[in-house]
Amino acid sequence: MKKVLKWIILIVIFMLIIPFLVCLFLIPRELYIRENLLTFIGLIISYYSLCSSIGIAILIYYIQKRDGEYEEKKKIEKAKATLLLEIENSFENLFSTPVEEINYQENKEIVDIFDKYTVELKNTLSSKEFILLAKIVNSICKCDKEEIAKFLRVWIQPIYLSDYQSCLVRVNDFNDLLNKKVYQLINNLGNKDENYEELDCIYDVKNQKVCEKVNKKVKIYDKGLCVVDAILGDYDIFDRYVVIEGFAKNDEYKGYYKDRKYNGKGILYDGNGDVLEQGEWVDGELKNGVMYNCIIHIIQGQLIYKENSPDDPYDSTEDFDYDIFSQYGQLDLVSSMIYELEMDIAQNGVESYYVFDFEVNNNKIQKITNIRTLADFLEKKNKELLAEINDVINDKNVMDDIKISDDY
């Protein structure tokens, strides 16, 4: 626009100078006589009137064009700023909010804003940038996690698609998670010119490591401690990335993996964080170790309590035999299991139920330890369940139903 203005000024100056040049060099002297002077002056006035009209027209055109461009620029800047704000809010919601607190409904309005400013965005973005922006908007609106993951660095994607996504909440700046194309697009919308850095480590606000890439593995940290040092990949039945090989700690298991299964030393936990099994694992099975709090039903023989023998309080008869009902920590996994246990106890009597720990060697139970009656165990562990069992035993209607079913 400045170049156009310069040319306009030059043209106006040139047009003002032309009459003097014409008078000086081209018009014969005899035309300056008195009778032709008025005619000549009229010509000069007409010329300058014409020049003024042309100049005013050019000036009006220039002002209108400048105002139009200014308004268009304002619209474009508003479009960029508005959509950038929506994208940043959506990314903040998706990446920096705990999974259970994410409000997916907040992301729905972004499509309407994108549609409103489509023309302005097309005028300022390259075709590739516009297509990428459209993909981002649609993925955010649909809450398509797999598509959203593609906007992240390649090594961050498996973390985002795994159960360890929650670690990303602690990241200082979600822009550190983005891949190069998305980062540059965000910069363009914000009129920034910042260089993209190839990062192998992401930090939190306290400058502590959150996650890092080490060759094919990723490491994830929690309060300075490494909770994952493994290769993540593949999908499980819930469409989540899982640990392929290495070490990992989560609510369910802490230990080593190989070929997606527990392999090596590890500890398996129940839903309350209590240990279910621990020891050496092979292909997802406990090979050598301990199984804790197994509820058993004596089907033959009996256990004999020994007083003053706290280390080994029970002997058994030679015909002693039992069935394993379940581990206590697995009862909450299937709601029907508690009901089944209550009915079995009502039928067989609570005195025939115990809780054992089993020592396992080469996938076989080798030794029974830590023997407790189920009643004593529940008295310390779950008084509510013990009360429910006693209510069932004392419920005459339930007992009558059990007796009738036995008769049949």
pLDDT in tens, 380-394: 999 999 998 888 888
- Whether residues 121 and 231 share a domain: the answer is yes
- Whether residues 327 and 226 share a domain: the answer is no
Q: Specify whether the CB–CB gap between 356 and 369 falls below 8 A.
A: yes
For a pLDDT cut of 70, what percent of the chain falls above it?
82
Can you list the alpha helix ranges (DSSP code H) found in 331-395?
335-348, 374-381, 383-394
Confidence grade of residue 334 (pLDDT, cut at 50, 70, 90) = low
pLDDT at 33: 52
pLDDT at 408: 47
Number of structural domains (the chain) is 2
- Whether residues 113 and 166 share a domain: the answer is yes
Higher-confidence position of 397 and 182: 182
Average pLDDT, stretch 18-43?
A: 57
CA 379 distance to own-chain centroid: 42
- Whether residues 315 and 381 share a domain: the answer is yes
- Residue 294 in tokens: 């197994």
Q: Is the entire prediction scored with pTM above 0.85?
A: no
Instruction: State yes or no: pLDDT of 13 exceeds 90.
Output: no
Higher-confidence position of 232 and 307: 232
- Whether residues 66 and 181 share a domain: the answer is yes
- Whether residues 133 and 240 share a domain: the answer is yes
pLDDT digits (tens, 9 = 90+) for 274-289: 999 999 999 999 999 9
- Whether residues 200 and 320 share a domain: the answer is no
Q: What gap in Å lies between CA 40 and CA 32, rounded to an integer?
A: 8
Q: Name the residue among 317, 291, 290 with its Cα closest to residue 303.
A: 317
Q: What gap in Å lies between CA 109 and CA 157, rounded to an integer?
A: 25
- Whether residues 223 and 90 share a domain: the answer is yes
205 assigned to some structural domain: yes
Per-position b or e across 49-68, b if 16+ CB within 10 A of its CB: eebeeebeeeeeeeeeeeee
Higher-confidence position of 174 and 59: 174
Give me the half-sphere count of Cα atoms (radius 13 Å) on the Cβ side of residue 287: 11
Average pLDDT, stretch 84-107?
A: 82
Higher-confidence position of 119 and 8: 119
Q: Which of 200, 225, 250 is the C-terminal boundary of a domain?
A: 250
Instruction: State yes or no: pLDDT of 185 exceeds 90.
Output: yes
Among the ranges given (62-76, 129-143, 258-272, 311-325), the one the predictor scored with the smallest mean pLDDT:
62-76
Q: Name the residue among 262, 263, 267, 270 with its Cα closest to residue 289.
A: 267
- Whether residues 206 and 349 share a domain: the answer is no
280 assigned to some structural domain: no
Q: What gap in Å lies between CA 303 and CA 299, rounded to an integer?
A: 11
Instruction: State yes or no: pLDDT of 202 exceeds 50.
Output: yes
209 assigned to some structural domain: yes
272 assigned to some structural domain: no
pLDDT at 407: 47
- Whether residues 172 and 290 share a domain: the answer is no
Confidence grade of residue 41 (pLDDT, cut at 50, 70, 90) = low
Instruction: State yes or no: pLDDT of 122 exceeds 70.
Output: yes
Instruction: State yes or no: pLDDT of 143 exceeds 90.
Output: no
50 assigned to some structural domain: no
Average pLDDT, stretch 232-259?
A: 90
Kindly list the distances between the CA atom of residue 206 and the CA atoms of 32, 155, 229, 377, in Å, as whole numbers in the listed order. 90, 22, 22, 45
Q: Name the residue among 105, 112, 191 with its Cα closest to residue 143.
A: 105
Instruction: State yes or no: pLDDT of 34 exceeds 60.
Output: no
25 assigned to some structural domain: no
Domain that holds residue 394: 285-407
Q: Name residue, tokens 């009459």.
A: 19
pLDDT at 393: 81
- Whether residues 244 and 363 share a domain: the answer is no
Confidence grade of residue 161 (pLDDT, cut at 50, 70, 90) = very high
- Whether residues 346 and 235 share a domain: the answer is no
27 assigned to some structural domain: no
pLDDT digits (tens, 9 = 90+) for 299-332: 998 888 887 777 777 888 889 999 999 999 988 7
Q: Which of 250, 275, 296 is the C-terminal boundary of a domain?
A: 250
Q: What gap in Å lies between CA 44 and CA 17, rounded to an integer?
A: 12
Q: What is the mean pLDDT of the chain?
A: 84
35 assigned to some structural domain: no
Confidence grade of residue 48 (pLDDT, cut at 50, 70, 90) = low
Average pLDDT, stretch 15-29?
A: 57
